[in-house]
Amino acid sequence: MKQAELVIIGGGPAGLCAAVSAASSGAKVLILERNNALGGQLVKQTHMFFGSEKQYASTRGIDIPNILLNELDKYKENVEIMTDCTIVGMFEDGVITVIHKEDKYFKVKPEAVVVATGAFEKSLVFPNNDLPGIYGAGAVQTLMNVHGVKPGDRVLMVGAGNIGLIVSYQLMQAGVKVVGILDAAPQIGGYLVHASKVRRMGVPILTSHTVKEAIGTDCIEKAIVCEVDNKFQPIPGTEQEFDVDVLCISVGLTPLNELLAMRGCEMKFVPQLSGSVPVRNENYETTVENVFAAGDITGVEEASAAMVEGYLAGLCAAAKLGHKSDDFEEKKADYIKQLDSLRAGPVGEKILSGIEQILVK
């Protein structure tokens, strides 16, 4: 069995920040990442980030992993990174089981763990939603921005949240025609600056609309959309057809929470946080001692918030293990202040009402 002081599960924005914060405090950190490279979703975010300077605002997401890895490199004697590691279990005795490179199985028992597994995409139910050409927005971004492959020529985007709007813009940057953006909600969910950006390129945004069905034989050829009423029920006679070869689904994310549930952490379904999330204290420690969580797994938000949560959880996990840096209180107060400020506006209201339900004092 492998020994470790602090295991961080997931090398995305939250996990990397947790690692920087814990390693700089003096904790020995082992990062376990499922993919073959670190960065999580950051590696496909070609747009500039919002927030303030401390959350790398106005830096492109794709450039943030390197900033964090350079930071991590300063404490390299405290850091071990293992990629291609799928965590298959977290057990009550603290043992974590891992499959490495698909064929090696090992166990690790750390003194503490930060779970930063992120979130996964929700889907949408409609007839023929399994036709080739119907993608999640994450897959479209991976094809385009990681592999340089155009997903198709004519795209209908479903979802006018930030991801739907941003991916539409990136599709147009890649030379793909976006025929429209739908959302079942009566209002655009994402930042309106993003909406205005795609709108002034001539892309219609149809709120109170949903996909009725996809049509095609070998792959999608048409999408039938219709208007919905204020109870999200289709209004007969409002159908419209779009000729498309890609239907991109961007209807939100939900926390990737299985490991925490398996470990026995108390979980709660909180719609404002987009799914089942761990009950936690202000240090981002769950109801199981020395099991911390950070990032989208604690509630789906922007990556800027995930990074600050990572810094905070890593700092507190290290302190719990006896690595309390001199400026612990100062840093902790700063991270809490940053999170408060990211959530202070109208966008944060929903998140704050969700956090209220899972925060134990």
Partner 1 sequence: MFEKTGVPSKEMVREIFPSIDRINKGPVAVIECYKEIPCNPCQTACKYDAIHVGEDINHRPEVNRDNCIGCAICLSKCPGLAIMIVDGSKSEETVQIRIPFEFYPLPKEGDTVKALDREGNVLTDVKVVKVLNPKSFDRTPLVTFEIDREYLYDVRNIRLEVQP
The contact set with partner 1 (CB under 8 A) reads 47-53, 57-60, 172-173, 186-188, 191-203, 205, 207, 304, 341-348
The one-letter code for the residue type at 192 is L
The nearest distance, CB 236 to partner 1, in angstroms, is 22
Task: Name which of 134, 133, 132, 137 is nearest 121 in CA terms.
Answer: 137
The nearest distance, CB 157 to partner 1, in angstroms, is 13
Reported for 142-151, long-range contacts at CB under 8 A and 24+ positions apart, including other chains, are 142/44, 144/44, 144/170, 144/171, 144/174, 145/43, 145/44, 145/45, 145/46, 145/62, 145/170, 146/43, 146/44, 150/174, 150/175, 150/176, 151/176, 151/246, 151/248
Q: Which is nearer to partner 1, 227 or 285 (CB)?
A: 227
Q: Which is nearer to partner 1, 24 or 250 (CB)?
A: 250
> What pairing do the DSSP bridges indicate for beta strands 222-227 and 240-243?
antiparallel
Q: Which is nearer to partner 1, 136 or 348 (CB)?
A: 348
The nearest distance, CB 309 to partner 1, in angstroms, is 14
The nearest distance, CB 202 to partner 1, in angstroms, is 3
DSSP string, 96-116: EEEEETTTEEEEEEEEEEEE-
Q: Which is nearer to partner 1, 67 or 172 (CB)?
A: 172
Q: Which is nearer to partner 1, 202 or 237 (CB)?
A: 202
Q: Which is nearer to partner 1, 286 or 338 (CB)?
A: 338
Q: Which is nearer to partner 1, 91 or 153 (CB)?
A: 153
Provide the greatest CA pair distance for the chain: 67
Strand partners, 241: 224
CA distance 40 to 37: 8
The nearest distance, CB 220 to partner 1, in angstroms, is 25
Main-chain phi, psi angles of 42, to 5 degrees: -60, -30
* Per-residue exposure over 107-142, b if at least 16 CB sit within 10 Å of its own CB, e if not: ebebbbbbbbbbbebbebebebeebebbbbbbebbb
CA distance 312 to 332: 6
Give the torsion sign (CA, 299, 70, 37, 103).
negative
Q: Which is nearer to partner 1, 273 or 351 (CB)?
A: 351
The nearest distance, CB 47 to partner 1, in angstroms, is 7
The nearest distance, CB 195 to partner 1, in angstroms, is 3
The nearest distance, CB 168 to partner 1, in angstroms, is 11
CA distance 178 to 190: 17
